[in-house]
Amino acid sequence: MKVGIVCPYDWTSPGGVKAHVHDLAVTLRRFGHDVSVLAPVDDPEYPLEPFVVDGGKPVSVPYNGSVAKVNFGPVSAARVRRWIKEGDFDVLHVHEPASPTLSVLACWAARGPMVATWHSSQQRSRALSAAYYLMQTAMEKISARIAVSEAARQTLVKHLGGDAVLVPNGVVCSDYEGATPLPGYPRQDPTLFFIGRIDEPRKGLHVLLAALPRIAAAHPGVEVLVAGPGDQEQATEDLAPDLRDRVRFLGLVTDADKISAFASADVYVAPNTGGESFGIVLLESMAAGTPVVASNLEAFASVLDGGRTGELFVSEDPDSLADTVIDLLADSQRRETLVPIGHERARQFDWEVVAGEIEQVYESVTATGEKVENDMRGQFVGRLARPNREDV
């Protein structure tokens, strides 16, 4: 099958949606499909994979309360149309289509079998309501809608109506299984691991650090490994000086170091306080064989199967976190039983399985054998604005 995938965010900087599109494309190619990915490219030096097509340099603009790097305008639209024309796709798969990116341009420009995946569960801006008619017209062409989580599905239902099928995020289990720990690990004393921006309150590092005095009292040798960018001094300024060196900052880590850090820890702690629509990082930890302690956000509880495949504590409650971590560190038997349970859970979300389900969605929309082509109807306003268009 010839599959065209649109990634809305910069291909050359790390991100959840980009990683999802990358792993999906790689797995589908392994299944034998012919995959082309259209993505914004900010860094021209970045070595693009052979299946990636440059969708143009994204522009930084204020959007939805922060600065977003997006592609828009007639030049991007022309690139999208040309890619669709040359790709001759059996199915077009756009990601996060309800945002001002290449994705919505692709919805706008194409007709035929189209699949869309909603990733985020964030509230949508007022701008979307203002452009509702235009967005609705583009969204209506999508033949199959996928949400990566229940939270993302509800956002979609609330803002657009209709329904979506649930196909979760995937994890490449083989990357994590049997990983080598960082030098000097595992230690004699227990090690906890946290990953995420350290100055982003919703990642919840402050909850973990608030629980540290009690954890350190029960397990004096404990160390907290922290991976992620942000101001390290500010993060620990509320801690007693003797506890500060219980925290080891790794800074922004490479994928390889992240995997090693999972393998170095006895317990992975996810103290996030909100804004998570899925818990891919929990699956990564379980794939690496590291038991998980996570806040009881809906998304986390669902990945941990209500506490069967990992421990849950009351979100934003340092005492609850401390109790849970202290108990789990003291109970080596429980940790050992969690390893195979976690492995099995992560396997259910392996990209082999997830991409197989996405393949089934593709088959559900391509049964009539129609191809993806440029949609000429209702486009003349955009086309008049660009007389020397590239696609004719």
Query: Which one of 43, 49, 140, 331 is in contact with another protein (CB under 8 A)?
Result: 140
> Is 307 among the residues that bind another protein (CB under 8 A)?
no
Window contacting another protein (CB under 8 A); options: 15-23, 233-241, 316-324, 353-361:
353-361
Of 100 and 168, nearer to another protein (C-beta) is 168
DSSP state string for 121-156 = -PPPPHHHHHTHHHHHHHHTT-SEEEESSHHHHHHH
Helix (H, G, I), strand (E, B) or coil at 54: strand
Q: How far is CA 320 from CA 210, 244, 295, 303, 326, in A?
A: 11, 21, 9, 20, 10
**x/- binding map, residues 68-107, to another protein, per CB under 8 A?**
----------------------------------------
DSSP state string for 155-216 = HHHHHH-S--EE----B-HHHHTTPPPPTT-S-SS-EEEEES-TT-GGG-HHHHHHHHHHHH
CB of 77 to another protein, least distance (A): 17
> Is 306 among the residues that bind another protein (CB under 8 A)?
no
- For residues 191 and 371, is the Cβ–Cβ distance under 8 A? no
Of 325 and 365, nearer to another protein (C-beta) is 365
Return the structure tokens found at 83.
Answer: 């890619």
> Is 384 among the residues that bind another protein (CB under 8 A)?
no
C-alpha closest to that of 246 among 230, 264, 227, 222 = 222
Query: Which one of 91, 152, 361, 372 is in contact with another protein (CB under 8 A)?
Result: 361
Return the structure tokens found at 284.
Answer: 């990564």
Window contacting another protein (CB under 8 A); options: 178-186, 187-195, 312-320, 369-377:
369-377
Return the structure tokens found at 5.
Answer: 């995938």
Query: Which one of 163, 319, 331, 390 is in contact with another protein (CB under 8 A)?
Result: 163
> Is 129 among the residues that bind another protein (CB under 8 A)?
no
> Is 14 among the residues that bind another protein (CB under 8 A)?
no
Window contacting another protein (CB under 8 A); options: 15-23, 173-181, 249-257, 354-362:
354-362
Window contacting another protein (CB under 8 A); options: 94-102, 135-143, 182-190, 282-290:
135-143
> Is 61 among the residues that bind another protein (CB under 8 A)?
no
Window contacting another protein (CB under 8 A); options: 44-52, 100-108, 134-142, 248-256:
134-142
- For residues 265 and 282, is the Cβ–Cβ distance under 8 A? no
> Is 269 among the residues that bind another protein (CB under 8 A)?
no
Of 126 and 377, nearer to another protein (C-beta) is 377
Window contacting another protein (CB under 8 A); options: 86-94, 97-105, 155-163, 214-222:
155-163
Query: Which one of 357, 374, 382, 391 is in contact with another protein (CB under 8 A)?
Result: 357
Distance from C-alpha of 33 to C-alpha of 42, rounded to nearest angstrom: 27
Distance from C-alpha of 26 to C-alpha of 119, rounded to nearest angstrom: 19
Distance from C-alpha of 271 to C-alpha of 337, rounded to nearest angstrom: 22
CB of 119 to another protein, least distance (A): 19
Q: How far is CA 319 from CA 206, 313, 316, 322, 363, in A?
A: 13, 9, 9, 5, 49
Helix (H, G, I), strand (E, B) or coil at 265: coil
Q: How far is CA 122 from CA 4, 99, 158, in A?
A: 26, 12, 12
The one-letter code for the residue type at 74 is: P
Query: Which one of 307, 363, 385, 390 is in contact with another protein (CB under 8 A)?
Result: 363
Query: Which one of 353, 371, 373, 391 is in contact with another protein (CB under 8 A)?
Result: 353
> Is 349 among the residues that bind another protein (CB under 8 A)?
yes
Of 111 and 187, nearer to another protein (C-beta) is 111
The helix or strand, by DSSP H or E, that contains position 363, with its residue range, turns out to be: helix 351-365
> Is 367 among the residues that bind another protein (CB under 8 A)?
yes
C-alpha closest to that of 71 among 53, 87, 47, 89 = 53
Interface contacts to another protein, rule CB under 8 A: 111, 113, 137, 140-141, 143-145, 161-165, 168, 348-349, 353, 356-357, 360-361, 363-365, 367-368, 370, 375, 377-378
